[in-house]
Structure formats: C-alpha cells, structure tokens
Amino acid sequence: MEAALRDGRLAPGDALPPVRALAAQLGVSPGTVAAAYRSLRERGVVETAGRHGTRIRSRPAVAPRMSLRLPVPAGVRDLSKGSPDPALLPDPAPLLARVPVTPVGYDAGGVLPELADLAKHRLAADQIPTPALTLTNGALDGIERLLATNLRPGDRIAVEDPGWANLLDLVAALNLQPVGVPMDQSGPSPDGLRRALAAGARAVVITSRSHNPTGVSVTAERANQLREVLADYPNCLVIEDDHAAELAIEPISPLAGCTQSWAFLRSVSKPYGPDLRLAVLAGDEATVARVTGRMRLGAAWVSTVLQHLVVAMWRDPAVTRLITHARQVYARRRESLIRALAERGITAYGRSGLNIWIPLGSQAHDSGGSRYGADRQIGTGREAAVVARLRDAGWAVAPGAMYRIASPPGIRVTISELRPEEVEPLADAILAAWHLSPTHPGV
C-alpha cells in the first residue's frame, strides 16, 4: 500500500478494501491485514472511519514520487492553498548582501545573539516572557519537537476543531490521540478545553491569532477564561502558535506562562516568505532545553545564514512598511468577500489571516474527539458537493473535512491573492453552489 501511494496508484482520500475482502483476495488471514492497517494508521498514513472503512489521509506520512496535491484544472482560479501573496512578500535579494559570508563551523552553530535580542524585544512588546528561547525550522517543526520530547505514542492531545490540517496529520503521524476543542468567534471553547483535559489530554495546541481555517483570534476575555481552566491542570503542556505574527491585525492575548510547561512559537514564514524556515520558540527553561537538546542530535541548529537574513529583514524600515501594507491589503480582501457573502445571506468568518471559513450547516458537536460518525459523513458529502460545484464554476477551494474532527461542515477560501474584480463573481458562485448542494441548510 505504501508503494501504491508512492507511485500514485493510491491517492489521498481513497478508500481501502475491507479487511476480510482484502484477506481473501491476498490469501492471508484477516489478522494479518488488520495488523497492516493498524501499522499504517499508527504512522499517520491512513485513518479509520468506523463502519465507513479505512482510507488514505489527506496528507499521509509517506513521501510520494510526485506531489499529493491534486492539480487544479486549467482555467480554475486556485483559492485553496492558504499561502501568502508572493507580490506582498519582501524581496530577500538586496538584503542577502548584508549577510556575513564567513563560514560557520559545527562548534559555532546556534542562535545568533543579535537575533535572540531582537526576538526577545519583539516578544516583550506583546507581554510574552522569554525565560528561555531557541529557534526551529518553522512553526510545525517546533510543534513536532515539542510533542516528541514531551508526549509518547498513545497520549491524548487537545486540538482546535476545526483546526490546522497539517497539525492534525502530524498528530496522527506521531500516533497521538486528538481530542477536539470546539471553536467560536473568540477562540477555543473553555468548556471544551476543560472536557479535553478531564479526558486525559496532556498537551494543548492553541492558535493565538489568524486561526487556520477560521480566521479567529483569541480575545483577551477568552484568554482569561482559558487561563482559569488551565490553572487546574498545571502539568499540561500549552503550545501557542502565532504563525501570522506581524500580519495579524489584532493584538495578541497570550497564555504564556499559565502552566509549568509552555511554549510560544512565532514563525516568519507568513509575513516574510514561506521559504524562510525559521520560528522563534520561547518557553520555560525545561521545555526549551528539551527541544534544543533534541535538535543537537539531528539538525543541530537553524542556518546562521538564514538567521542573518531574518535579522536584516527585521531591521529594514522598507520591509516593515511592506509588511504593514500587506496586513492592510489582506484585511481589505478578507472583509470585502465576507461583506459580499453577507449581502447574499451567507455567513462567513475571518477576523484576520489569509483565509475565511464558510459553515455549511449546523450539527451537534461531539466534544469527545471522535472524528467520525454519520453526521461527519453527511457533512463531508455536503462539502464535496459545494467544492465540486465551485470547481465547475471556475473556483478551487478547500473542503472542511481536512480541518475537522467532529465540528460541522464548512469550506475554506484563501483570500490572499483575491483581486477586487473577483469578489462579486466568487460570492455569486458560492451562493449558487450552496443552494445546489445536497441537504443545503438554506441562507
């Protein structure tokens, strides 16, 4: 099955044969097939949908020979990627001339003092303490190292629902058990977090601002409510992901320091460029020391060439002005589409960030963390119908199933490259696809 996935005979979302049917076909025992499926599931390659069978995950932990991303047909506008607008990213070429060219040896790697000083100053401006600080190769790399050094396979982890698809796939690849925490327009539900922690979750990952896929930012009031919940679980590892950083239009309300073990991650990829694989990781001394120690056994450090480039960008007034401009442009694009949809009776969410989330109906939320069931299958079918209608109309968007555990269905639309003249036609297409989807909830 891994070979079939590598060479394209299997693709994300493909259903696998039932255990007994495959056992009969191969002439082996059902136990052998079940063990193989279990191994694939524990390594994040497949997911099991109960009575609905086993299928390949949307982002399986096996490297294919070609990209797993489904090609967007010619003539279809791609609003599914979740990436920043290349036209709004700083050009690194002029700044590279300022990067020291003196080679760095194995004994001189690590966090540059000037970058550490700048990072601490920028975090302090947001009331984020820095008792210890290190660097990782992006936010997801930092989250993976935090989970690998603090949790063990089979442990439960509280995650936002809906939440970041890449994180959900990483959790599966680490053989951790996700427990969904419902989201509203103020952030993760305090009651949902309490239920997840009471169910045994040893860690929680929270997006501070520009939540992917909903665009939600944690409000000051909600941060206080979450702190009250976490006060009863002082041993919980709290991981905050501030991936949008300078692109977020709202002030941050951090949870840093509310438990004994915590980490705050701020990436440079969204504001400054996805190819800049660097994130600042602040946290308590023990948690940061574990990450640093694990890195020394592998990658060792983040390239000092890249660190010097980030320092140059942080210090350049022209880059700062461009980031401010990009933040304003994204806000206009996001608000214009939300407003156009509202005029058509469709509710969409997105306070900040590069995406908006459009719910496709209301269903009971299973806060226990089960990712499957009849409701989820119905919701996934509704999403697929809307996504297909939009693709036929010339628009590619992301189905919500990639981001959901047990939350109601929806679709994610990336606004980062949305042009003003596209807003009205896109809103019309979404309205038409909404009405033509099966069991649509109406507007």
DSSP-assigned states of every residue in 376-425: HHHHHHHHHHHHHHHHHTTEE-EEGGGT-SSSPPEEEEE-TT--GGGHHH
pLDDT at 33 over 50: yes
In angstroms, rounded to a whole number, what is the distance separating the alpha carbons of residues 137 and 124?
22
Residue-wise pLDDT tens digits, 230-268: 999 999 999 999 999 999 989 999 999 999 999 999 999
In angstroms, rounded to a whole number, what is the distance separating the alpha carbons of residues 366 and 369?
6
Secondary structure of the chain: what % helix, strand, coil (to 5)?
45, 15, 40
In angstroms, rounded to a whole number, what is the distance separating the alpha carbons of residues 279 and 262?
16
> Domain spans of the chain?
2-56, 77-86+319-436, 103-313
Instruction: Supply the pLDDT for residue 85.
Output: 96
For the chain, give the mean pLDDT. 89
103-313 folds as Aspartate Aminotransferase; domain 2 (3.40.640)
Q: What tokens were used for 258?
A: 């509310």
Instruction: Supply the pLDDT for residue 52.
Output: 67
Instruction: Supply the pLDDT for residue 369.
Output: 38
User: What single-letter DSSP state applies at residue 9?
Assistant: S
The reported pTM is 0.86
Q: Which amino acid is at 333?
A: R
Bridge partners for 400 per DSSP: none
Q: Which amino acid is at 82?
A: G
Range with the lowest mean pLDDT among 87-91, 347-351, 435-439?
435-439
pLDDT at 400 over 50: yes
Q: List the one residue out of 412, 437, 436, 428 whose CA is nearest residue 78.
A: 412
Give CATH for domain 2-56.
1.10.10.10
Residues 6+ apart with CB under 8 A from 330: 85, 88, 247, 352, 353, 354, 415, 416
Residue-wise pLDDT tens digits, 331-384: 999 999 999 999 999 999 999 999 999 999 743 333 333 333 444 455 678 888
For the chain, give the percent of residues with pLDDT over 70. 91
Instruction: Supply the pLDDT for residue 162.
Output: 95
State the pairing for strand pair 355-359/201-207.
unpaired
Q: What tokens were used for 189?
A: 């539900």
77-86+319-436 folds as Aspartate Aminotransferase, domain 1 (3.90.1150)
Q: Are the CB atoms for 81 and 187 separated by under 8 Å? A: no
Q: Are the CB atoms for 392 and 307 separated by under 8 Å? A: no
Strands (E), 171-285: 177-184, 187-188, 201-207, 237-241, 261-267, 279-283
Residues 6+ apart with CB under 8 A from 321: none
Tell me the pLDDT band of 428, cut-offs 50, 70 and 90.
very high
Distance from the first to the final alpha carbon of the chain: 43
User: What single-letter DSSP state applies at residue 247?
Assistant: G
Asked whether the domain spanning 103-313 has the same topology as the one spanning 2-56, the reply is: no
User: What single-letter DSSP state applies at residue 26?
Assistant: H
Range with the lowest mean pLDDT among 49-58, 307-316, 340-349, 382-391?
49-58
